Amino acid sequence: MKSIVQIIMALTVLLLFAVPAQSAQKWELDKAHSSFYFNVDHIFSKTHGQFNDFKTEISFDPNNLGESSFYFEIAVKSINTNITKRDKHLQSGDFFDAGKYPLMTFRSKSITDAGNGMYQVAGDFTVKDVTYDLTIPIQLVGVKEHPTAKGKLVAGFDGRVTLDRLAYKVGSGKFYELGVIGKDVDVLVSLEVLADK
Amino acid sequence: MESGKPKNRSNKVIVAVLIFSTLVIIGLAASVPFYFETTTIWYKTGLDKTFLRFGQVAGMIALCLILLQIIIAVRGAYLESWCGVANLVRLHQVNGLLICLLILVHALLILLPEGLNNLPIGRKYWPEMVGGVALVALLATTFFSYFREALKIGYQRWRFIHRPLGYLIALAVVIHVLFVSDVFASGVLRSLLVSAGGGVSLYVLVVKTLLFMKK
Ligand code: HEM
């Protein structure tokens, strides 16, 4: 009986003082070399744009996917399609309603290795204050010593996903029905992130 | 200084021609948003489209009246003899109020379709912001002109600010229109507006030079 008590006590002490599980490497955004790009059909052509203002919180270790995570926060007002009037229109109630819903966010819940540097990042995508399940296939393009910034590691991520904007209520569908603006938006999340070596 | 009503019959004819030509120019300007559609109009539907269109009409009329306002303010000997100084001063005052009303309607109707919580603020919206500055300056200068005496502001002091501000507002409005609207970005409308701005500037220069030489 005495030995059972001793074992339980020893286990308790071990649990209390156990070293917390190794957390995944944190990566800081290199904003100058990252962006959230998109393109969408316009009658016959493709209109390209990007969001200029965003934040990321990235912890990533391919050997510790359980502790890895991605968080993206995009300021809708920063939409840029090179034509200011179009940007204003995209920010209006006809599309993003940026005055009312200033942010879009994505927070990962699980990451699975899909092989060949591809990861299926599943999470919550919040747009116009409604949260949807979304899985973004993200490729780890590479990790290496930064060629110019001494003592830094650089990693690259490319996430590509096609979103049906109407499913997320970005537009009522009137421009789609008119055959003017497509509903499928190709999104490219292109990130360069840095960490101390 | 000559004052009062136009004196003789030929003056009345000239004034009638001037008023008629001004109304024709304003009418033509007001029709611009219907004949030269901006791309913004293409992407508006229903009430938003109507708001935007009439906002543009109000802006076009205000633009004409602002340029006219400079001519009325500068006057010149011929204009004074044809119309009478008192009439020109009265017209300048009424026109000032009308311009304020029109630009408020313009700003409101143009901003409503994109949402009043989605204002064009920031460096990339500088042409709209120039319009905003012109609007505030116009409202302020009209307010101080109407309530100058009640506010106990001396005439010379008021005039010292009112005159340069008037020219600056007109300049700001021309810049606003040339850079904010895609139909004024090139072509006939741009040439017309640049010519109109140049014409008014030339008129001011000639009248001021003649006045200076007379002194
Ligand atoms: C002094 C006051 C102003 C005058 C005289 C004026 C006049 C004009 C004129 C003539 C146009 C061109 C209309 C057309 O394309 O047919 C225009 C366009 C425009 N104005 Fe103003 N404006 C003034 C102030 C403002 C203000 C305060 C704003 C608000 C920010 C504003 C926003 C715009 C916008 C966004 C356009 C482009 C409309 C479009 O292309 O859809 N303006 N303005």
The nearest CA of chain A is from the CA of B174 a distance in Å of 19
Q: How far, in Å, from the CA of B128 to the mean position of ligand 1?
A: 7
**pLDDT score, position A172:** 95
User: Residue B39, CB half-sphere, CA atoms under 13 Å: how many?
Assistant: 13
Is A146 inside any structural domain? yes
* Ligand 1 close to Cβ of residue B134 (< 6 A): yes
Q: Which residue of B has its CA nearest to A98?
A: B118
Nearest to B118 among A84, A85, A98 (CB): A98
Binned average pLDDT, 10 residues per bin, chain A of 197 residues: 57 44 86 97 97 97 96 98 97 96 98 96 98 98 94 96 98 96 98 95
CB contact (8 A) between residue B115 and residue A93: yes
When divided into structural domains, chain B yields a total of 1
- How far is CA B123 from each of CA A78, B114, B130, rounded to the nearest angstrom? 12, 18, 11
Nearest to B114 among A88, A100, A174 (CB): A88
Is B91 inside any structural domain? yes
Please name the residues in contact with A77: beta carbons below 8 A apart, sequence gap of 6 or more.
A53, A91, A98, A102
% of chain B surpassing 90 pLDDT: 92
* Ligand 1 close to Cβ of residue B141 (< 6 A): no
Is A5 inside any structural domain? no
Is the per-residue pLDDT at B96 higher than 50?
yes
Is A14 inside any structural domain? no
**pLDDT score, position A19:** 43
Better-scored residue on pLDDT, A3 or B137: B137
Among protein residues, the one whose CA lies closest to atom 7 of ligand 1: B59
The Cα–Cα gap between B159 and A103 comes to 49
* Ligand 1 close to Cβ of residue B53 (< 6 A): no
Is A49 inside any structural domain? yes
Is B1 inside any structural domain? no
Is A15 inside any structural domain? no
The tens digit of pLDDT for each residue in B42-68 reads: 999 999 999 999 999 999 999 999 999
**pLDDT score, position A13:** 41
Q: How far, in Å, from the CA of B56 to the mean position of ligand 1?
A: 7
Is A78 inside any structural domain? yes
* Ligand 1 close to Cβ of residue B138 (< 6 A): yes
If you average pLDDT over every residue of chain B, what do you get? 94
Is the per-residue pLDDT at B15 higher than 90?
yes
Buried b vs exposed e over B17-46: b needs ≥16 C-beta within 10 Å? eeeeeeeeebeebbebbeebebebbebbee
Residue B129's domain comprises 9-214
CB contact (8 A) between residue A92 and residue B115: yes
Is A106 inside any structural domain? yes
Is B135 inside any structural domain? yes
Confidence of residue B214 (pLDDT cuts 50, 70, 90): confident
The Cα–Cα gap between B182 and A89 comes to 15
The nearest CA of chain B is from the CA of A126 a distance in Å of 20
Is A10 inside any structural domain? no
The Cα–Cα gap between B94 and A128 comes to 47
CATH number at residue B105: 1.20.120
* Ligand 1 close to Cβ of residue B120 (< 6 A): yes
Look up the pTM and report it: 0.89
The tens digit of pLDDT for each residue in B148-160 reads: 999 999 999 999 9
**pLDDT score, position A14:** 43
Q: What is the rounded average pLDDT of the residues B18-31?
A: 97
* Ligand 1 close to Cβ of residue B40 (< 6 A): yes
What interface predicted TM-score (ipTM) does this complex get?
Answer: 0.88
Is B175 inside any structural domain? yes
When divided into structural domains, chain A yields a total of 1
Residue A76's domain comprises 20-196
Nearest to B115 among A87, A99, A174 (CB): A99
**pLDDT score, position A197:** 87
CATH number at residue A129: 2.40.128.110
Which of B69, B87, B200 lies closest to B142, judged by CA? B69
**pLDDT score, position A24:** 87
3-state class percentages of chain A: helix first, strand second, coil last, to nearest 5: 20, 50, 25
The nearest CA of chain B is from the CA of A89 a distance in Å of 6
CB contact (8 A) between residue A97 and residue B43: no
Is the per-residue pLDDT at B194 higher than 70?
yes
Q: Which residue of A has its CA nearest to B120?
A: A88
